[in-house]
Amino acid sequence: MKSLVPHLAMAPHFAALLKLAGPSAFVATRAAAPAAPEAGEITNWEGGVTYRPAVVVRPQTIDDVVRVMKDAVKYPSPVRAVGKLHSPAPCSADDGGTMLDMTGTSRIIEIGHDFVTAEAGALYIDVAEELARHGKQFHINTEIGNVTLGAVACAATKDSSLIGTSHWGQVSSFVSGLKIVKPDGSVASYNEADDPDEMRLLRSSYGLLGVLVEVTLRVKPMTAVYAKHRVYTIEEFRTAMPELIAQRNALMMYFYPFTQKVMVEERRELPGVKPTSSGRWWLRNAFWRNLGPMFTIMIARGARGHPIEHRVRAVYDFLICRWTSMLVGGKATYPQLQIIRHQEKPGLYKFVFSMWSFDEKQFFDTFEAYSRFCREHAERTGFRCDLPAVGYRMVQDKNALLSFSHDAPAISIDPVSTGGAGWDEFLKAFNAFASAHNGHPLFNQTKHLTPEQVGKAYGKRWAEFAVARRARDPGNRLLSSYFAKLLTSAGSP
């Protein structure tokens, strides 16, 4: 085994990361907005996708967006609105088009009794922290906080459904109103009371029907969250699942396919109870923010290719599960502390992911097949994911046309890794596996999708969306090459 001693030289970096991982890192005041990027090569958050727009614009007002939409000569098509570029799929922008960096529009416009209205470029974590100062919260406290309201309002997100209270697990299901700039440059407003059909389209429109400029989300009084973590074998989890659901728990899972183990994060809200505890959420957040990838990379550097590597990883995984089960959670935790403020760019210590969801009734058979798939892929190629896969239980949700749990309750499998050689090939193989097992991908969070896989998963709903898109944008002002290719499975872009 290669010596791990050289990695002691990384101690200063480790100390700095521990400082970053502390509680204050997740409740810090917002960072200053970066300067508008120049046109050229722009990567997504983790560096796995590169865009080459002809023009980059950072609008400050709705009028700025209108001017862009009306001038196709100065601002060539397609026009794509972006936020923090966290999507692992190449859905955000396009080569040769116009990138609208919406992070310059970040004002919170109004906080009402049961709603918040903000500009589309406002960060989810910033709005959540402001709501907390008013004794309010989002219905969903999704892990990635560096995502804009415009993104979560019209694209797929996931968090385990809080069955007994908020119910839905997708952020867009709580979007009650939108203001958009349409492809012709006109401005329109919609709300769920007056325009339910249009809202159902817009909640999964991915910027293809108009540029979102203002978003209204339903909110509620701050409510304490009971949370704990438990480790099961997959068979124990299969047996426990009905009772966990009956207890109205939200379920997030950490899957270990090579050991057939699963660590389950169980959460439920306690209406009428005020939060009193941090729940040490910052420890879990620190794992995903940098410590998990850092330790994983250190193990690889010290033991890659040696028979002991996988045993070291097994011990590491065991300790993570043990410590998380012992330390993270509480009887009355603050809900907004679950949200992670990631760095602008993760650098070396990053994680990458992809996602498919599967109908709950077939999930455990699917997971057993997934475990076999992972073992066989590792034997054949030598590649295995070096971070635990993640999963979420989602209730059936028809609030968006392209909801990935539209037809039945679903559980996702999200492979996670530090990336590197073999990751993209693994994802392509996983996509084939997931499609064969009747999974549903996410257009923004599933990398290397094919038109055939999308057509099989979404069928008539995908065709319905294609018709609606053509009617609202006949000149393809907003249509990127990524979506144009996928839409061929619906007949035509």
Residue of 105, 142, 167, 192 lying closest to 338 (CA atoms): 142
- The pTM of this model reads 0.89
Domain contains 33: no
Tell me if residue 373 falls in helix, strand or coil: helix
Residue 344 binned pLDDT confidence (cut-offs 50, 70, 90): confident
Query: Residue 3 has what pLDDT?
Result: 39
8 Å CB contact between 256 and 231? no
Residues 211 and 298 in one domain: no
294-331 pLDDT, tens digit per residue, is 988 888 877 777 778 888 888 989 999 999 999 999 99
Sign of the alpha-carbon dihedral angle for 104, 110, 111, 116: negative
- Residues in contact with 471: Cβ distance below 8 Å, sequence separation at least 6, in sequence order: none
Query: What value does the mean pLDDT of the chain take?
Result: 90
> Which of 2-6, 431-435, 450-454, 459-463 is least confident?
2-6
213-229 pLDDT, tens digit per residue, is 999 999 999 999 999 99
Residue 39 binned pLDDT confidence (cut-offs 50, 70, 90): low
CA–CA–CA angle 251, 253, 256 (5° rounding): 160
Most confident of 146-160, 178-192, 384-398: 178-192
Query: Residue 28 has what pLDDT?
Result: 32
What CATH number does residue 184 fall under? Answer: 3.30.465.10
* Of 221, 240, 262, the domain-final residue: 221
Distance CA 22, CA 489 (A): 47
Q: Is the peptide bond before 275 cis (omega within 30 degrees of 0)?
A: no
Distance CA 286, CA 324 (A): 12
8 Å CB contact between 101 and 207? no
Higher-confidence residue of 245 and 32: namely: 245
Query: Residue 118 has what pLDDT?
Result: 99
CA–CA–CA angle 246, 279, 21 (5° rounding): 130
What is the bridge-based pairing of β-strands 55-57 and 98-101?
parallel
Query: Residue 334 has what pLDDT?
Result: 95
pLDDT(32) > 90: no
Residues 86 and 119 in one domain: no
Considering the chain, what percentage of its residues have pLDDT values greater than 90?
77
Distance CA 411, CA 106 (A): 33
Distance CA 487, CA 454 (A): 8
> Which of 52-61, 150-159, 162-171 is least confident?
162-171
Residue 69 binned pLDDT confidence (cut-offs 50, 70, 90): very high
Domain contains 5: no
The parent domain of residue 86 ranges over 42-101
319: exposed, middle or buried (Cβ count in 10 Å: 0-12, 13-18, 19+): exposed
pLDDT(483) > 70: yes
Two structure tokens written together for 490: 């619906």
Length of the chain: 493
Query: CA–CA distance from 325 to each of 225, 227, 231, 320, 390 (Å)?
Result: 16, 10, 8, 8, 16
How many other β-carbons are positioned within 10 Å of the β-carbon of residue 38? 7
pLDDT(488) > 80: yes
- Residues in contact with 474: Cβ distance below 8 Å, sequence separation at least 6, in sequence order: none
Domain contains 492: no
Encode 247-312 in three state secondary structure. Answer: CCCEEEEEEECCCCEEEEEEEEEECCCCCCECCCHHHHHHHHHHHHHHHHHHHHHHHCCCCHHHHH
253-264 pLDDT, tens digit per residue, is 999 999 999 999
Q: What is the DSSP letter of 88?
A: S
Residues 347 and 461 in one domain: no
Query: CA–CA distance from 131 to each of 48, 109, 121, 128, 135 (Å)?
Result: 33, 12, 16, 5, 6
Residues 133 and 216 in one domain: yes
Two structure tokens written together for 319: 């300790």
Encode 170-190 in three state secondary structure. Answer: CHHHHEEEEEEECCCCCEEEE
8 Å CB contact between 50 and 42? yes
Query: Residue 10 has what pLDDT?
Result: 38
Tell me if residue 467 falls in helix, strand or coil: helix
Query: Residue 168 has what pLDDT?
Result: 86
352-383 pLDDT, tens digit per residue, is 999 999 999 999 999 999 999 999 999 999 99
Residues 295 and 175 in one domain: no
Mean pLDDT (whole number) for 26-53: 66
* Of 157, 188, 221, the domain-final residue: 221
What CATH number does residue 71 fall under? Answer: 3.30.43.10
Query: Residue 321 has what pLDDT?
Result: 93
Domain contains 29: no
Give the number of domains in the chain.
4
Query: Residue 2 has what pLDDT?
Result: 39
Residue of 404, 419, 409, 410 lying closest to 461 (CA atoms): 404
Mean pLDDT (whole number) for 464-469: 98
Domain contains 473: yes
Residues 251 and 326 in one domain: yes
Query: Residue 9 has what pLDDT?
Result: 37
8 Å CB contact between 465 and 443? no
Domain contains 12: no
Residues 143 and 251 in one domain: no
Residues 329 and 419 in one domain: yes
Most confident of 155-169, 260-274, 460-474: 460-474
Residue 33 binned pLDDT confidence (cut-offs 50, 70, 90): very low
How large is the C-alpha radius of gyration of the chain? 22
Mean pLDDT (whole number) for 16-23: 41
Distance CA 186, CA 65 (A): 10
Phi, psi of 265 (to 5 degrees): -95, 110
pLDDT(27) > 60: no
Residues 432 and 327 in one domain: yes
Name the CA dihedral angle for 469, 480, 457, 415, rounded to a multiple of 10 degrees.
-140
Two structure tokens written together for 166: 């908020």
Distance CA 426, CA 25 (A): 33
Mean pLDDT (whole number) for 420-445: 97
Tell me if residue 148 falls in helix, strand or coil: strand
pLDDT(13) > 70: no
Residues 341 and 389 in one domain: yes
Query: Residue 362 has what pLDDT?
Result: 95
Domain contains 67: yes
Distance CA 374, CA 382 (A): 10
Query: Residue 428 has what pLDDT?
Result: 98
pLDDT(15) > 80: no
pLDDT(19) > 60: no
Residues 212 and 150 in one domain: yes
* Of 221, 255, 270, the domain-final residue: 221
Residues 368 and 300 in one domain: yes
Mean pLDDT (whole number) for 392-411: 95
Domain contains 21: no
Distance CA 301, CA 304 (A): 6
